[in-house]
Chain A
């Protein structure tokens, strides 16, 4: 019997996903596209924010959308009715999108006609954050009815994003919600994240959020693809 030996490996267990995410990032860069990975709990308003963002940008940027859901085309149909190019991914049970799914979806989108690609992840605050997709920006929505204590329950996602959009601000007077406490908690976990207070229903705050996206797009798009 051979003696026991130790073999050093030191390979990230998400290495396979990350490599494809890197390829996706290169594909996107080559087409001058900035991609946003939009994450949130189910019902926080991801699709509503996409629709409102498209209206607020009003053609300044050409949007494309990838919709991730366990099942159905409800979200894709809603986005398509706004006249945006959209691909629906049904994960068939998987709780998050991964880079190979995005690679597949990119083949179905008119990449030369898109400036800003918003990828709506599966509604989930846990798993999506582990899987890079090739995005330039990670954004999450924390909606008012979810409560102000979520950052400390889901530190993984709150520490990983470039922006937090607090949605459903119009409901704040009707629920037990402390905006100051939520802002303090977000700040405590993530000093650099931009924080927006919006209501996709009333349109409050959407303009400021869309301006930020516009600024991010200008700063992050590949200069050669201008």
Chain B
């Protein structure tokens, strides 16, 4: 549901940058989204296709790079990727840690012509 306002914002930023770069058309939008966020790729794509009609971004490919969650163990400092619901450190067995990545949600770049 909340992908609608978020996608509106994506298109606004994309068009601003495209116009600044004096581009005729946006061919690709590169997004980076972490697995700990609740954004759904298909949903962003759906709204993007709909909202970009009639703009320079119409028909652009949406490329979403997913960033997996990475955690640093509180006990032994080992860095690991939590396996689904298991946030136990594979090295020392301690539970949980500091979140290092997985919360990202940004527009990295656009490809224009």
Binary per-residue interface labels of chain A (6-18) against chain B in the complex, 1 for a CB within 8 Å, 0 otherwise: 1111111111110
A19 to chain B, nearest CB (A): 11
Cα distance A191–B13 when bound, in Å?
A: 36
A3 and B13 within 8 A (CB): no
Residues of A within 8 A of B88 (CB): 188
B27 at the interface (CB under 8 A from A): yes
B5 to chain A, nearest CB (A): 7
Select one of A10, A98, A155 contacting B5, CB under 8 A: A98
Residues of A within 8 A of B84 (CB): 152
A162 to chain B, nearest CB (A): 15
Residues of A within 8 A of B110 (CB): 6-7, 9
Cα distance A189–B111 when bound, in Å?
A: 38
A225 at the interface (CB under 8 A from B): no
B106 to chain A, nearest CB (A): 5
A221 at the interface (CB under 8 A from B): no
B36 and A155 within 8 A (CB): yes
B85 and A10 within 8 A (CB): no
B112 at the interface (CB under 8 A from A): yes
| Residue in B38, B74, B107, B112 whose Cβ sees the most chain A Cβ within 10 Å | B38
B109 and A9 within 8 A (CB): yes
B104 to chain A, nearest CB (A): 9
Residues of B within 8 A of A155 (CB): 36, 69, 82, 87
Residues of B within 8 A of A130 (CB): 2, 37-39, 105
A127 and B95 within 8 A (CB): no
Binary per-residue interface labels of chain B (37-74) against chain A in the complex, 1 for a CB within 8 Å, 0 otherwise: 11100000000000000000000000000000100001
Closest to B34 in A: A156
Residues of B in contact with A, size category? 35 or more
Cα distance A130–B12 when bound, in Å?
A: 19
B23 and A5 within 8 A (CB): yes
Cα distance A93–B108 when bound, in Å?
A: 30
Within 8 A of A (CB), among B1-33: 1-2, 5-6, 9-10, 12-14, 17-18, 20-21, 23-24, 27, 31
A4 to chain B, nearest CB (A): 5
Residues of B within 8 A of A31 (CB): none
Cα distance A98–B9 when bound, in Å?
A: 13
Select one of A14, A153, A188 contacting B105, CB under 8 A: A14
A192 to chain B, nearest CB (A): 10
Residues of A within 8 A of B85 (CB): 149, 152-153
Cα distance A1–B112 when bound, in Å?
A: 11
A108 at the interface (CB under 8 A from B): no
A176 at the interface (CB under 8 A from B): no
Cα distance A190–B37 when bound, in Å?
A: 16
A14 and B113 within 8 A (CB): no
Residues on A facing B (Cβ under 8 Å): 1-17, 93-96, 98, 126-127, 129-131, 149, 152-153, 155-156, 159, 184-185, 187-191
